Amino acid sequence: MARPAPASPSTLLDEPANDRLVPIYLLVILALAIGLTSGLAIGMSSFKFDQWMPSSRPSPSYIESGTVRATTSDGTTVTARVAIDVRNPDTRAVLEKERDQVALMLQNSVGVQPYDSILGASSMTQISANMRTQLNQFLESRQVEPIHAVMIQDLLIKKR
């Protein structure tokens, strides 16, 4: 039985060059990934986000009203979620203490609107302004600062 002849060095060199370069490609890709990640981390750490935040104006502080349900005079059912921008702690305390009365005022502000005036984008502005006026009159009687704004987050209208 004859033994196979050992491979000559020239046949080892005949292997495709791509097989020998695969580990080098992996090292280059790994080095690029580490370099890009660290470059982004260093760049983001020197980036200041507070330069866009206006420091002269107080940031809004909202009170969620919960769901306000009202029925208009023509039978339309309106459901809304309202956020009240309250920047004064005394005003916040009054609104949280009188939560039921605030909910009734918000409900009344929606309920007095006829169906036609509730439709459209401008109606949300009008309803919001009406809510703000009523709440500020209430807060004036309690001798606290007025609220800054009333935002209607959701408004669902169901015609009867």
Helix (H) or strand (E) holding 78, with range, is strand 77-85
pLDDT per residue as tens digits for the range 107-146: 888 888 877 778 877 888 888 898 999 999 999 999 999 9
pLDDT at 143: 93
CA distance 146 to 94: 11
Of residues 59 and 149, more confidently modeled:
149
pLDDT at 14: 56
Mean pLDDT of 29-55: 70
Q: How much is the average pLDDT of 82-101?
A: 90
Average confidence (pLDDT) over 68-88: 88
Q: Which amino acid is at 39?
A: G
**Structure pTM?**
0.60
Tokens of 44: 């983001």
Q: Which residue has the tokens 């209430």?
A: 138
Q: What was the pLDDT predicted at 64?
A: 86
Q: Within 13 Å of residue 127, how many CA atoms lie on the same side as its CB?
A: 34
pLDDT for res 71: 87
The greatest distance separating any two alpha carbons of the chain, rounded to the nearest whole angstrom, comes to 114
Q: What is the pLDDT of residue 25?
A: 81
Residue spans of the domains in the chain: they are: 9-45, 62-158
pLDDT at 136: 93
- What is the mean predicted confidence (pLDDT) over 20-30? 80
What pLDDT, on a 0 to 100 scale, did the predictor assign at position 26?
A: 83
pLDDT category of residue 11 using cuts at 50, 70 and 90: low
CATH of domain 62-158: 3.30.479.30
- The residues, any chain, with a CB within 8 Å of residue 78's CB and separated by 6 or more, are 69, 70, 71, 72, 110, 111, 113, 118, 155, 156, 157, 158
Using one digit for the tens of pLDDT, what is the confidence trace for 101-112? 988 988 888 888
